[in-house]
C-alpha cells in the first residue's frame, strides 16, 4: 500500500512544497482484525486539522500516516462484523465511538472517551497500530483513518455505509467538514427558523455551517472572513451578507440589531471567540468549532454569562451521531438543499499532497481532494 507519512513537523510559514514533510511511500499492507474493515480509498480530502499536525500545533505521535476525511469501498471484512460487506460504499469518520463509555451512553459519540484515547496514541479502536514500513517500523494511524493512502484498515465504527450512487467527490467531504459544520448548527446550537447566525471563518467547516443555517431557516446569516475571495462563495452557500472582521459589527447590527442569536467560530482563534461573545444578543451562544493552539487562553468579561445570559458551547465533530447524521445530510444534498460541490476546489494526485498544504495555508482552496 502507499500512504503519505509525516516523520517530522515543520513550522507554520514554511514552504511545504520545498520542505516536503509528507512522504508518499510504500508500507506493508495489513489485513483487518476482529471488528475492522479494509478500505480501498477512492478520494481523500485535505483539512486544516491535517495542516495543524504538520506544523506541530496539534501534537500527535510520529511517524504518522495522515488524513482523516475520505470515501472508499470495503475490500475486506474482519471477524465479528456482520453488517458491512465487501463492495459497500463508505464514508470514513474520525471518531470511532466505542458505544460503552460515559459519553457514548449519553448519546454523544463524538466525545467518546475510548476514541479520544486511541486517536491520541495513534492506535485503532480494536487494537494497536497496524501500519509498518517494510523494515518493520511502526507508523501511527491518524484519527483512526490515515486517509492519504490507497488503502486503510479502520474500525467498523469509523465507517458509515452510504448509497452506491452518491458521487465520491461529494461523499469525500462528509466525514469531517460537512459533519462538523452542519452539526455545529443543528446539534450544538440547535438553531431554528428566524434565528440570526454569524459564521466566522469560511473554510469548508464554516461554509458547511452557512449551508446548515440556511436549511434551518435562519433569518439572517452573516459570513465573516478576512479573505475577500471567499465572500461570494459564502453568498452562494446561503449567506445573506458577507464581509471581513472589520465589517462584522456593522453587518450584524444591520441584520440583527443588538446582536446575533448564534455565532459559529470556525477559525480556531481565542481572540475571535472573544469577539463573537461581544457580538451576541442577550441569551445568545457562541459555538466554538475551530481548534485553537493548545497554548491559547481565553480572557473575556465574566459578567457576559450570568449578566447577559450568554453561552459558550464547545462543538467537537459537530456533536454528530455519524450513523444518523451522514445519511441525513446526504438527504439534504439529494434534495438540492446542500450544494457541497461548492466546497470542492479541485482534485489532484496524492503525489501533490505537499503542494496542497501550501494552497490550504494560503487560503487558495476550500477542499482539495486527492486521488490515491
Provide the pLDDT for residue 303.
97
Domains 2-172+339-371 and 178-316 share a fold: no
CATH code of the domain occupying 178-316: 3.40.50.720
Q: Which CATH number fits domain 2-172+339-371: 3.40.120.10, 3.30.70.2860, 3.90.180.10, 1.10.1040.10?
A: 3.90.180.10
Provide the pLDDT for residue 77.
98
Cell of 281: 444578543
Q: Do 32 and 77 form a contact (C-beta atoms < 8 A)?
A: yes
280-288 β-sheet, strand order: 241-243, 220-224, 196-200, 260-265, 280-288, 311-314
Provide the pLDDT for residue 95.
98
Distance of CA 328 to CAs 21, 180, 196, 212, 336, Å?
A: 37, 13, 23, 12, 13
Provide the pLDDT for residue 27.
98
- The residue among 314, 331, 310, 332 whose CA lies nearest residue 214 is 332
Question: What is the per-residue pLDDT across 154-193, written as a single tens digit (0 to 9) for each?
Answer: 999 999 999 999 999 999 999 999 999 999 999 999 999 9
Instruction: For residues 126 and 25, give the distance between their C-alpha atoms in angstroms, rounded to a whole number.
Output: 25
Kindly give the confidence (pLDDT) of every residue in the chain, 372 residues in length, as a single tens digit, with 9 standing for 90 and above.
999 999 999 999 999 999 999 999 999 999 999 999 999 999 999 999 999 999 999 999 999 999 999 999 999 999 999 999 999 999 999 999 999 999 999 999 999 999 999 999 999 999 999 999 999 999 999 999 999 999 999 999 999 999 999 999 999 999 999 999 999 999 999 999 999 999 999 999 999 999 999 999 999 999 999 999 999 999 999 999 999 999 999 999 999 999 999 999 999 999 999 999 999 999 999 999 999 999 999 999 999 999 999 999 999 999 999 999 999 999 999 999 999 999 999 999 999 999 999 999 999 999 999 999
Return the SS3 of 196: strand
Provide the pLDDT for residue 207.
98
Instruction: Catalogue the E-assigned strands of 231-295.
Output: 241-243, 260-265, 280-288
Cβ burial of 341 (10 Å; 0-12, 13-18, 19+) is exposed
Phi-psi category of residue 357: left, alpha or beta, with phi > 0 → left and psi -120 to 50 → alpha: alpha
Give the number of other Cβ atoms within 10 Å of residue 105's Cβ: 11
Question: What is the per-residue pLDDT across 317-347, written as a single tens digit (0 to 9) for each?
Answer: 999 999 999 999 999 999 999 999 999 999 9
Give the number of other Cβ atoms within 10 Å of residue 86's Cβ: 11
- The residue among 212, 235, 221 whose CA lies nearest residue 328 is 212
* DSSP string across 12-63: TTS-HHHH--EEEEE-B-PPP-TTEEEEEEEEEE--HHHHHHHTTSS---SS
Provide the pLDDT for residue 284.
98
The model's pTM is 0.97
Distance of CA 75 to CAs 67, 72, 90, 131, 369, Å?
A: 19, 9, 11, 17, 21
Extents of the domains making up the chain: 2-172+339-371, 178-316
Element (H, E) at 315: none
Provide the pLDDT for residue 200.
98
Provide the pLDDT for residue 321.
98
Q: Do 87 and 163 form a contact (C-beta atoms < 8 A)?
A: no
Amino acid at each position: 500500500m502507499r500512504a503519505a507519512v509525516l516523520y517530522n513537523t515543520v513550522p507554520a510559514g514554511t514552504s511545504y512544497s520545498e520542505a516536503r514533510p509528507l512522504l508518499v511511500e510504500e508500507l506493508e499492507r495489513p489485513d483487518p482484525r476482529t471488528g475492522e474493515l479494509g478500505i480501498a480509498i477512492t478520494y481523500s480530502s485535505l483539512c486544516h486539522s491535517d495542516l495543524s499536525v504538520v506544523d506541530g500545533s496539534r501534537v500527535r505521535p510520529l511517524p504518522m500516516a495522515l488524513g482523516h476525511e475520505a470515501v472508499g469501498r470495503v475490500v475486506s471484512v474482519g471477524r465479528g462484523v456482520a453488517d458491512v460487506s465487501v463492495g459497500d460504499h463508505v464514508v470514513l469518520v474520525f471518531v470511532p465511538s466505542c458505544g460503552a463509555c460515559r459519553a457514548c451512553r449519553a448519546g454523544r459519540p463524538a466525545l467518546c472517551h475510548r476514541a479520544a484515547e486511541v486517536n491520541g496514541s495513534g492506535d485503532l479502536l480494536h487494537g494497536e497500530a497496524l501500519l509498518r514500513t517494510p523494515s518493520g517500523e511502526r507508523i501511527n494511524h491518524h484519527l483512526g483513518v490515515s486517509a492519504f493512502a490507497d488503502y486503510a484498515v479502520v474500525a467498523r465504527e469509523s465507517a458509515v455505509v452510504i448509497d452506491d450512487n452518491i458521487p465520491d467527490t461529494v461523499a469525500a467531504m462528509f466525514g469531517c467538514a460537512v459533519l462538523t459544520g452542519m452539526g455545529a448548527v443543528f446539534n450544538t446550537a440547535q438553531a431554528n427558523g428566524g434565528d440570526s447566525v454569524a459564521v466566522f471563518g469560511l473554510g469548508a467547516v464554516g461554509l458547511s455551517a452557512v449551508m446548515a443555517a440556511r436549511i434551518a431557516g435562519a433569518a439572517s446569516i452573516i459570513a465573516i472572513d478576512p479573505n475577500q475571495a471567499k465572500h461570494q462563495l459564502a453568498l452562494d452557500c446561503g449567506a445573506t451578507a458577507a464581509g471581513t472582521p472589520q465589517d462584522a459589527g456593522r453587518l450584524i447590527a444591520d441584520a440583527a440589531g443588538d446582536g446575533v442569536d448564534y455565532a459559529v467560530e470556525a477559525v480556531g482563534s481565542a481572540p475571535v471567540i472573544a469577539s463573537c461573545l461581544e457580538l451576541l444578543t442577550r441569551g445568545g451562544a457562541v459555538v466554538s468549532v475551530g481548534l485553537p493552539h493548545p497554548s491559547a487562553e481565553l480572557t473575556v468579561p465574566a459578567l457576559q454569562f450570568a449578566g447577559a445570559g450568554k453561552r459558550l458551547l464547545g462543538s467537537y465533530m459537530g456533536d454528530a451521531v455519524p450513523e444518523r447524521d451522514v445519511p441525513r445530510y446526504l438527504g439534504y444534498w439529494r434534495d438540492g438543499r446542500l450544494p457541497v460541490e461548492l466546497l470542492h476546489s479541485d482534485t489532484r494526485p496524492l503525489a501533490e499532497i505537499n503542494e496542497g498544504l501550501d494552497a490550504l495555508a494560503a487560503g487558495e482552496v476550500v477542499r482539495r481532494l486527492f486521488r490515491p
